Structure 1
Amino acid sequence: MLKDIATGSTGSSPERMVVFKDKLYFLATNTGNVRQLWETDGTENGTKIVASLASASSLVVYNNQLYLSGRITNNDEVGAELYKVNLPDANLSAATSHAPEIKVFPNPSNGEFYLSNLKSGTFELFDLTGKLVKQGNFSGGKIATSVQPGYYILKVKTSATTVMIEKIKIQ
């Protein structure tokens, strides 16, 4: 375990991982059931909260910017919005451009996955030790793999430099 975000047996449910400027950003829930945006450089001391959120559904890198879809805890806005994460001070501002929300489905699957809002690009599949086990191109929003059942990290890139990392389960 890199860092105990939610102490106890509950777990922090880290998800929606993206790499941006040599750091990994992800969404997690703390012990108080508050959704948070986190960043890590791969060390315990380098793993920290970027922002607390009322809700969040996705992170995406587009045009060398990090975007977040969701609601900010201390914002007067009622509905979910698209925000640009301004680093290093981690301010969130309403974005003027729209990055696509990307989902991997079904998850878990038998090794065949579909990507919403992405038609073609490259993918890399890593086991939980970080070892690359499969890589290739995808088209039609479909990725087909033939690997042993288990948990993997899927990294997807497109020509527009969209990077998305998702934990997947192959049965």
Structure 2
Amino acid sequence: MLKDILVGSNGSNPHFIATIGNLAFFRAQSTNGYELWASDGTSAGTYEVKDIRSGTGDGLSTNFPVPFAVYENKLYFRAVDGMTGTEIWVTDGTSAGTYRLFDLYPGAANADPEQLKIMGDYLYFFAKTATTGTELWKYSLKTSSVENPALALEARLYPSLSSSGQFFLEYAESDPLDIAVFDALGRQVSQVQLPGGTPLLLTTLPAGTYWVKISNHQGHTATQQVSIMR
């Protein structure tokens, strides 16, 4: 036995293995509930990566298909922290480097992402929102944008990092777009309607990372991550 994760006669019920370098990642139960663990093949090097759902609650649910995807030394998986619903998370094997990638279904509702699959520079998965139900989505591992391919909107904000909080909307059509901005906890912090070429002013928001949902009146959407650095 490599390590008695749940000390005593009860098993830790480890499931699912994905490898990155010399680390094997898996889900296991300890006194913190079911969480993400990693091991380098030694007892000392077997550890809980992060207590995602603080306390005894399960950060990684006990029943989900195709739980892990690997891209450029990072592991992508679904988890829940108790503040937002079940969403996609990413880790580099450290606690500080483990975080929710985005809040697709804002707030406490569950997006329930499933069937994570890397193809090229995209992460594909099934997930649900209040407006679309369960559909196919893709996340760009290069630009940090997420979209439903069937309802994709050709619109984007630039630059992705701003010191002033000003971003410009690139959109070829003339109809105005609905812009909703969410913070890292999934709380809506701004909502405006803008035509293409108009600046989005987030100058009053504090420094941090935000998710911006851009929608037209036909229900097509684009979701993009932007950051404000003071």
User: Given the two structures, how large is their TM-score scaled by the length of structure 1?
Assistant: 0.50
Which of 1 and 2 has higher RCO (CA within 8 Å, sep 6+)?
Answer: 1
Normalised to the residue count of structure 2, the TM-score between the two structures is 0.39
Greater C-alpha radius of gyration: 2
Higher-strand-fraction structure: 1
